[in-house]
Amino acid sequence: MPRCTSTPSGRFLKCLALAGLVATAGCAAHSVAVAPSPASPAPPAVVEKTVQLLYNNPADTVRQVRETNHISATADMRTGLLTLRGPAPDVAAAEQLIRQLENDATLLSDVFFSYPLQHAQAAGLAPLLLPSDQPGSPFAVLGSPNPTPYVVAYPRGNALLIMTEGKYERRVKEIMEKLDRASP
């Protein structure tokens, strides 16, 4: 009886290897035995994670995530939500990158917000908010060489429109809260 010389094709073996399997050829009607590969680790679990952006452009962030990680990333421009999908370690690395980008944007860029006043009058309070390098300025406690926020009165809404560096936003709001007290 002639010996069987049939072996699985290279393409077939590659497909099995991608699935973490090995094949051995047999001669009984050209059968192939397939078994799990002992050296192949289990592929990482695929996860999906949604991340909310507050400061960065979602399209730019998706581009940066795709350049540095091999995962699927989509953005909802209307809500600022990013959806990340891929192996768990890669998604975790992408999420860490996004958090770092958001933190950098918060610290390095200016933020603009409206501060509605409860007790003080916007038109009367805005001129009193002197630059931080002048004596008596409530912003002197911020400490940086020139951290003075830009403050404009909005009398119709009795609010102050304020622009400051992101790292000072919380502190500026605390100062404004102290200044906006009821008169005894």
pLDDT in tens, 108-152: 567 778 889 999 898 888 877 766 566 666 676 666 555 667 888
H-type helices in 22-151, by residue range? 58-68, 88-108, 122-125
Please give the Cα distance from 54 to 63 (Å, whole number): 17
Parallel/antiparallel/unpaired status of strands 159-165 and 110-116: antiparallel
Chain-centre distance of CA 176, in angstroms?
29
Alpha carbons 158 and 19: distance in angstroms, whole number: 66
Read off the pTM: 0.41
Closest CA to 91 of 57, 45, 42, 43: 45
The sign of the torsion formed by the CA atoms of 162, 167, 170, 174 equals: negative
Which pLDDT score is estimated for 1?
Answer: 43
Q: What is the pLDDT of residues 149-178, one digit of tens each?
A: 788 888 888 888 888 877 778 888 888 888
pLDDT of residue 118: 92
Q: Which domains does the chain have, with CATH numbers?
A: 1-42 (no CATH), 46-108 (3.30.1370.120), 110-179 (3.30.1370.120)
Per-residue pLDDT tens over the stretch 21-40: 655 554 444 455 555 555 65
